[in-house]
């Protein structure tokens, strides 16, 4: 099952990240995971939030270039080799990982946010491999 990630393009200058976070705070959007990649001039901020459509809308209304992207949130057991086993399962199906980052939520398992080149197929393969993913409903209540 996929969830929506908020992506925000921000200028790489002091205080700009704080401005984005202030908009979300002012609109009661809870950030569950955050990833920031930068270049010399711009940053790409990726967020998992409890209300992605609301987050995108308030950011757009505040002048921030933002969009929603479908991603997977994969539950990873806290055992040695668990992440490698999941990645091997996807690799054997010729599914490429475009990016991934950690997600910290209060569950017995760790979680990772993953964007693949074939999300629907990745979901099917993970389901067949008995690998759990998080639903939008689970994210909304965190």
pLDDT in tens, 116-142: 899 999 999 999 999 989 888 988 887
Is the Cβ–Cβ distance between 58 and 27 less than 8 Å? yes
String of DSSP letters for 73-140: EEEE-SSTTHHHHHHHHHHHTTPPEEEEEEE--SSSSEEEEEEES-HHHHHHHHHHTT--B--HHHHH
Q: For 63-67, 92-96, 99-103, 108-112, which range has the lowest pLDDT when averaged over its residues?
A: 108-112
Topology of 2-69 in CATH?
VC0802-like (3.30.2130)
Question: What pLDDT does residue 106 have?
Answer: 64
SS3 110: strand
> Of residues 114 and 84, which shows the higher confidence score?
84
For the chain, the domains span: 2-69, 71-140
Superfamily of domain 71-140: VC0802-like (3.30.2130.10)
Question: What pLDDT does residue 13 have?
Answer: 85
Place of tokens 């017995």: 108
């Amino acid at each position: 099952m996929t969830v929506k990630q908020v992506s925000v393009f921000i200028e790489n200058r002091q205080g700009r990240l704080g401005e984005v976070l202030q908009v979300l705070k002012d609109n009661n959007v809870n950030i569950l995971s955050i990833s920031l990649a930068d270049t010399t001039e711009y940053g790409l901020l990726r967020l998992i939030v409890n209300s992605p459509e609301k987050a995108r809308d308030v950011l757009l209304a505040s002048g921030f270039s933002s969009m929603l992207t479908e991603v997977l949130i994969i539950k990873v057991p806290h055992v040695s080799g668990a992440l490698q086993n999941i990645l091997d399962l996807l690799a054997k199906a010729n599914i490429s990982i475009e990016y991934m980052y950690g997600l910290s939520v209060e569950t017995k398992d760790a979680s990772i946010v993953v964007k693949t080149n074939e999300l629907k197929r990745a979901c099917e393969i993970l389901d067949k491999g008995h690998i759990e993913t998080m639903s939008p409903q689970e994210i909304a209540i965190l």
